[in-house]
Structures are given as C-alpha cells and as structure tokens.
C-alpha cells in the first residue's frame, strides 16, 4: 500500500515538476517579442477601425481572418470590403512598403524611376502610346503619342514586359509599327532604343492654349493628374500656382468657351481639384456648397465655393464646360464633373468614366516602413448625389480614340479627334459620328480592342493631406 502510494506520489511529483518546467519556459516574458511581431498589424487594424469608410464591415478581432502574425500586406487586404472597395478585383485602398525599391502601383507618377510615357494595351498585347512626358527617356527616344509598340527587345509583348514598363528598368529596344490600310495590319517600321528609366518631372498641366475659331476664343487645358507640387515636402504648390496664372491669362483674353481635357486624369489631391472648381464655376456659386464628404461615422462635412483655394487666381464665370473623358477619367476628375453639374452645363465627350466616388488619405507607421492608403470618405455634390456616377459618367457625345487604328494627333492639336469634336460643338458645326472600324480590323487578325492601360494600374482615389 505504501509502495503504491509512494509510486503514485513519485509520478505526481514528476508531472508537477514537468508542468513547472513548462510553465517556467512559457513564463518567460515574451510579450516584447510578440509586440514587435504584431505591432504593424495591430496598428493597421486600429487605424482602419477608426478611419476606414467601411469599418463596420471589417471582420471582428475574433474572426479567423484576423491573424496578427500574418504579413502586413495580407493582413491589410483581409480587412477590406471586397464588394465596395474597388472594381474588377482591384481595391482602391492599398498598402505600401516604403523601404522597397520596386514600385508596384505607378508608372509616370513614379517620377523617381520612370520611362515617362503612358500606354494602352490591346488584346493581342500590342501597346499604343497615349502621351509622352517632356525631357523623359521616352521623349529622348523620339517616342510619340499614337505610336504602336509591337515588340520589346525582339520579343512579343507579355505581362512581364508591361510590368517592366510600369516599374522601370534598363534600356529597352522598342519595335514600332504602323497601320496599313491595304493589309489592315500593323507593319513594322523601325526599332528605337528607350534609355533606362530615371527621375522625371511630370507636370500635371501637360499643355494649354487659347484658340481663336470663327468668333470664339476657346481655352484648352490638358490636366493629367491633380498634383499641387513637385515633391511632398514642397510648400510652394508650384503646379497649383501655375493653374492660377493660367486662369489670369484666360480671364484677360476673355475666354468664355472652355475645353478641359481629363481623359488621362485618374485623380489626385482634393485641394487641386477644388481650386479648378473655383476657377471654372459660374460666379453665382460663391457661397454655395461645392461638395460634401461623408465619413464612416455618417458625419457629413460641407465645403463651399468660398475662394479659399483660389488665391491670386481668378474665376472665369463659365456657363458651359466641355470635358474630354475616357475610362481612365476617375476620382477627382469625376468630382469636377459632379460638383459643377448642379450649377452649369457640363458636356462630356469621349467614353464612359471609371466611377470612383470615394477618397483616401495616407497613414504612416511610426517606424517609417509601412504606409496605408484606406478609403476614408464618400463624396457628394450640392444635390446630395454620389451614386449617380458609381458606374461612371456616360458621355454626351461618345467617341473612342482607341478604336481607330490611325495615328493619334498630338494633344492640343485642333484636329485631334476629341478636341475637334468640342471645337465643332462650340462653333455650332454638325458632328460626324465615329466610324466603326473594329470588324474590318479583326478580319485580318489585328485587334482594336483595348483591355487595359498603364493609367488603370496607377489609378488613385481622391487624396487629402
């Protein structure tokens, strides 16, 4: 009996010692280690629950999707509202590692490492140049708007080559082609060398002009993204100031007919878009609501035409605005259309816009490695309208420049297709509908069906500082 008792006692003591050892090991204070491993994810969750527009739809902390040991990218994207945040599987909210050299979401807007041109990709992976930035590698190579690129480094263009163009890299050999009416095909014309990507200056005010056509003085501006300054640290807002100077010039010239080219403008800063609204709107809008921002707490903050952004710029007191648009027209560009529409006639020429009625800001973790850009508000015009363009604005006069195989004329050329339509509308000339060339081109195996563009990859929501 005692032997049995002693045996049980020994076994019990053994397990007690074992448990003690385990507890001792587990009892090591590893909270600091766990904190280091999970601090970024916990910061992401806290920030998102406080600011994300769809915070109520985020998974709860007990949900299996919440794994604080997962990589920050995975953790962030698992929090997003997949139905509302973004389109076609591409969320508007995003996260970035500020220490990585590779840029995943910008082409020209990656001004520190860019070839300096935007392009459209077609179903057969031929590329078409949309515009070229001055003094960029593409400009140096002689690349022009409308050029067809049919191969890169002697190879057919695939997603790998497109990614290279977006991210930047070394010198490339671009084989160019030209559409021939006889064969209904792209035929090789020349091969040019595109120098390595490098820092560029991408002035958002690509070009502007004043044209005298019959009895009309027409102002024209190509505004490719709403960016107030060259660098984030700049306080002079050099590009906003240039827009103010242009407004003074247009006012002095008595401009009453205005063509605003936003076909390649996929968004940017709310402040720059607000400035443009104050320049273009009728003078009678002073003191009226420009737009309202709705946060995740259903709080609505109103902003007014109070000339806060106008500075030394001037209001043009326009009654009608002609806007050139495309599928790349998004976010702050659509804000311009939506916010001016209650007060003036806004005529859209081109193709259906993106439909992005939300905005974001940036939050940076204290260690400086991670930054998140969540959607934090939805935007409404003075009539309380927002979902009216959730699927994009439809053009009043449809015209798709990418469905024509012929050479695209330079932006600002009065004979350029969309600009020419606007000019003819202003002076009262009849408008000729776009000819359908798609079927004949397809019959020869040449695709005129664009599937994506570099602008879509770097599309951004409305940004606030």
Percent of the chain with pLDDT over 70: 85
Is 220 inside any structural domain? yes
CA distance 240 to 234: 12
- pLDDT tens per residue across span 241-274: 999 999 999 999 999 999 999 999 999 999 999 9
- pLDDT tens per residue across span 395-411: 999 999 999 888 899 99
CB 354 within 8 A of CB 266: yes
Here the tokens at position 129 are 């140049």
Classify residue 434 by its DSSP letter: P
CA distance 227 to 271: 9
pTM here?
0.88
CA distance 303 to 263: 26
Are residues 185 and 215 part of one domain?
A: no
Are residues 128 and 64 part of one domain?
A: no
- 6: pLDDT strictly greater than 60: no
CATH of the domain at 166: 2.30.42.10
Are residues 176 and 209 part of one domain?
A: no
Are residues 209 and 156 part of one domain?
A: no
Here the tokens at position 180 are 């021939």
- 4: pLDDT strictly greater than 50: no
Identify which has the larger pLDDT, 154 or 463: 154
Domain that holds residue 311: 205-431
- pLDDT tens per residue across span 186-210: 999 999 999 999 999 999 999 999 9
Are residues 230 and 179 part of one domain?
A: no
Are residues 187 and 251 part of one domain?
A: no
Are residues 156 and 72 part of one domain?
A: no
Is 439 inside any structural domain? no
Are residues 183 and 66 part of one domain?
A: no
Are residues 238 and 184 part of one domain?
A: no
Side-chain-side CA neighbours of 407 within 13 Å: the count stands at: 11
Is 108 inside any structural domain? no
Here the tokens at position 344 are 């003036």
Mean pLDDT of all residues belonging to the chain: 88
Is 302 inside any structural domain? yes
Residues with Cβ within 8 Å of 228's Cβ and at least 6 positions away in sequence, in order, are: 237, 238, 239, 240, 269, 271, 272
3-state secondary structure of 418: helix
- 19: pLDDT strictly greater than 60: no
CATH of the domain at 222: 3.90.226.10
Q: For the residues 160-169, what does the mean pLDDT come to?
A: 91
The phi and psi torsions of 300 (rounded to 5 degrees) equal -115, 125
Are residues 258 and 142 part of one domain?
A: no
Q: Number of folded domains in the chain? A: 3
Is 232 inside any structural domain? yes
238-252 helix and 270-280 helix, angle to the nearest 10 degrees:
10
- pLDDT tens per residue across span 20-53: 555 544 555 455 567 788 999 999 999 999 999 9
Are residues 347 and 225 part of one domain?
A: yes
Is 437 inside any structural domain? no
Are residues 347 and 211 part of one domain?
A: yes
CA dihedral sign of residues 158, 108, 274, 250: negative
How far, in whole angstroms, is CA 162 from its chain's centroid?
17
Is 21 inside any structural domain? no
């Amino acid at each position: 009996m005692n032997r049995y008792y002693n045996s049980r006692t020994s076994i019990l003591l053994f397990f007690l010692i074992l448990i003690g050892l385990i507890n001792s090991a587990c009892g090591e204070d590893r909270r600091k280690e766990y904190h280091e491993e999970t601090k970024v994810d916990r910061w992401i969750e806290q920030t998102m629950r406080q600011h994300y527009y769809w915070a109520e739809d985020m998974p709860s902390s007990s949900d299996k999707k919440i794994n604080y040991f997962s990589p920050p990218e995975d953790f962030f994207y698992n929090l997003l509202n997949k139905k509302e945040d973004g389109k076609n599987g591409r969320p508007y909210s995003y996260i970035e590692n500020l220490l990585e050299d590779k840029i995943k979401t910008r082409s020209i807007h990656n001004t520190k490492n860019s070839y300096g041109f935007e392009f459209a990709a077609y179903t057969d992976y031929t590329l078409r140049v949309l515009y070229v930035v001055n003094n960029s590698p593409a400009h140096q190579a002689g690349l022009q708007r409308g050029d067809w690129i049919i191969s890169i480094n002697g190879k057919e263009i695939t997603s790998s080559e497109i990614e290279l163009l977006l991210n930047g890299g070394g010198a490339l050999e671009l084989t160019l082609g030209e559409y021939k009416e006889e064969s209904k095909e792209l035929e090789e014309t020349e091969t040019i060398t595109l120098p390595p990507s490098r820092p560029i200056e991408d002035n958002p005010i690509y070009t502007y002009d004043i044209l005298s056509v019959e009895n009309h003085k027409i102002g024209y501006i190509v505004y490719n993204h709403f960016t107030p300054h060259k660098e984030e640290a700049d306080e002079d807002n050099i590009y906003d100031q240039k827009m103010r100077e242009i407004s003074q010039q247009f006012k002095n010239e008595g401009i009453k007919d205005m063509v605003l080219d936003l076909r390649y403008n996929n968004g940017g800063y709310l402040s720059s878009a607000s400035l443009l609204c104050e320049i273009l709107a009728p003078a009678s809008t002073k003191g009226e609501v420009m737009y309202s921002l709705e946060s995740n707490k259903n709080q609505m903050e109103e902003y007014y035409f109070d000339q806060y952004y106008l500075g030394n710029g001037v209001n043009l007191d326009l009654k009608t605005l002609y806007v050139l648009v495309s599928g790349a027209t998004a976010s702050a560009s659509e804000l311009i259309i939506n916010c001016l529409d209650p007060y003036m006639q806004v005529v859209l020429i081109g193709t259906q816009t993106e439909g992005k009625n939300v905005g974001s800001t940036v939050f940076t973790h204290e260690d400086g490695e991670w930054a998140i850009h969540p959607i934090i508000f939805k935007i409404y015009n003075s009539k309380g309208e927002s979902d009216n363009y959730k699927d994009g604005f439809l053009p009043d006069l449809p015209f798709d420049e990418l469905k024509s195989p012929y050479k695209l004329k330079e932006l600002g050329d009065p004979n350029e297709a969309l600009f020419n339509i606007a000019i003819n509308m202003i002076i009262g000339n009849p408008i000729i509908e776009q000819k359908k060339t798609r079927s004949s081109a397809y019959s020869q195996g040449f695709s005129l069906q664009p599937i994506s563009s570099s602008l879509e990859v770097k599309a951004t929501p409305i940004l606030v500082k």
